[in-house]
Amino acid sequence: MDTMRLQATTIRYNAVRLVAAIAVFAAAATTAAESAAPMVAQATLAQVVAAQAAGLPATEITQSPARATVTPNSNVPDQDSKKRYYTIPDFRLGGKYDLDADPQTWRDGGEGGTTLESLGSGPLQVAYIAVGTPRRNDKGEIVNAIIISTFYSGDSTWMYNTWYEGQPANAFSGGAVVGPHRVIDTDTHYVVFLDAIGLWGASKPSHGLGRKFPQYSYQDMVVANYRLLRDHLNIAQVEVATGVSMGATQTWVWGVMYSPGGYVKAIMPIGGATASDGADPVGQWTFRLAQAAIESDPNWRATNGNYYDLPKEKHPNQGMQFMWSTLQLTGYTFPVRSATPWKTLQKEVFYWEPKGDETATYIARVKNEDAVDYWYRNNAGFNYNINSELRRIRARTLVVHVENDQWLMVANARKAAAAVHGAYFATLSDPGAHYGVFRAPNILKDTIGAFIDDRFTTSLPGVGGGVEPAGDGAPAKPAGLAK
């Protein structure tokens, strides 16, 4: 009985600590105004010649070419100066990809897709943060890259702020993941944190097209970022593609599309999905509810999502608040949620007519988010299913998943791993449930480090089974985080 009391007290303590930290991070997430004009770091003629000889881009776009008037271009404002941009003219969004064809036929997107220029917009843009030590072949191309795709609501600044050495949110991941002598070692690898089409620094509906924006796919995200890596950063070899949550979902797509030709040597999806259509009923149900929450907003229903001529306070902000509240019910384990005092928890519970601090967490959050952006992001997953294409993967594969994830079921991840020749599977349990994906590289440090360095053995922790985290409570959740 004393043990049970101790466990209950521990859960309550960590739950309170978790929610208190959320408030701190939310207060720190106020976004600065965005500049309208892109800034380009100009190079001298000598620098251009030297850059070309070394295979480097001669110029860097340091601010978004597209004007951000509704939502900022970075999830973490304090890291915005580190983000760089690249534009891809005449890229087709929403087309179909013939995976049996030469990948060069995909360079400009899928067959039958729509370019942003044809709709009166500027070219597609992507965004990234690059760190580490590039190693080059005799052509000057980078051959030691590790790429980190972002999660559902994240971007490169959020992943950098959480995973890179010495950053404010390192504690959420149980310490830094990327840096000198870390699990992803910047002394031996060139590491690129990637944005994804649809939010933040990449092209997104709220840049101006709104509901006219083409419906993009996860394949579009990956091919556009391939163009960034190959054409702009001169990366000839991705040693490991990885990411968490939707970043892991993109990692699976990297394996299907770019490992058969050898461009991607290894993939390590951490808590992702190979299907989010009806083949994954829990995931489909969860995000259908999220989409319905957006569409339930009176301002959405009155405008059918065409509200950009209205001030921000007249946008479907409550629909967004409702969406986050719906998702967060199962974002953490029920013991963590159940142990949280209601006065604290109600900040994350949706109310149509909130009083006091009811819904306070999401009222603050959605000031920097847009309903149409997320409507498109949700829609991208509803018809996604690459299960029949997993046989194409030729990369070394380590699938990492949280055993008690309540959004993306571990059984589906096991089936996906079994479909890939030679793939390994490792699990961990975490009181943060799905959010354990961010701590996974530290919880399974030896296992993941060995895989990255290509010295993997099946006797490493978590392989074929589960590993409990070192701590007994969910980590504090930074603002701006959901799936």
Phi, psi of 266 (to 5 degrees): -150, 145
Chain centre to alpha carbon of residue 281: 22
pLDDT at 12: 40
Identify whether the C-beta of residue 54 lies closer than 8 Å to the C-beta of residue 46.
no
Q: What is the DSSP letter of 231?
A: I
Angle formed at CA 7 by CA 5 and CA 13, multiple of 5 degrees:
100
pLDDT at 465: 57
Chain centre to alpha carbon of residue 376: 15
Amino acid at 120: G
Phi, psi of 147 (to 5 degrees): -110, 140
Rounded Cα–Cα distance for residues 114 and 93 (Å): 5
Angle formed at CA 130 by CA 126 and CA 136, multiple of 5 degrees:
110
Strand duo 84-88 + 124-132: pairing: antiparallel
Burial 92-108 (b: 16+ CB within 10 A, else e): bbbbebeeeeebeebeb
If we measure between CA atoms, which residue out of 483, 442, 473 comes closest to residue 21? 473
Segment holding 441, helix H or strand E: helix 436-443
pLDDT at 17: 37
Q: Please, which residues have CB within 8 angstroms of residue 273's CB and are 6 or more apart in sequence? A: 248, 249, 252, 280, 283, 384, 408, 412, 413
pLDDT at 476: 52
If we measure between CA atoms, which residue out of 207, 195, 214, 263 comes closest to residue 90? 214
Reported as half-sphere exposure (CB side, CA atoms, 13 A), residue 51 has a value of 15
Tell me how long the chain is.
483
Rounded Cα–Cα distance for residues 216 and 92 (Å): 9
Taking CB atoms within 8 Å and a gap of at least 24, the contacts of 277-282 are 277/381, 277/382, 277/383, 277/384, 277/385, 279/385, 279/387, 279/412, 280/408, 280/409, 280/412, 282/406, 282/407, 282/408, 282/409
Three-class DSSP category at 464: coil
User: Which pTM does this prediction carry?
Assistant: 0.86
CB-neighbour burial class of residue 187 (10 A; exposed 0-12, middle 13-18, buried 19+): exposed
Other beta carbons within 10 Å of 279: 15
Segments of the chain scoring below 50 in pLDDT: 1-55, 58, 466, 470-472, 478-482
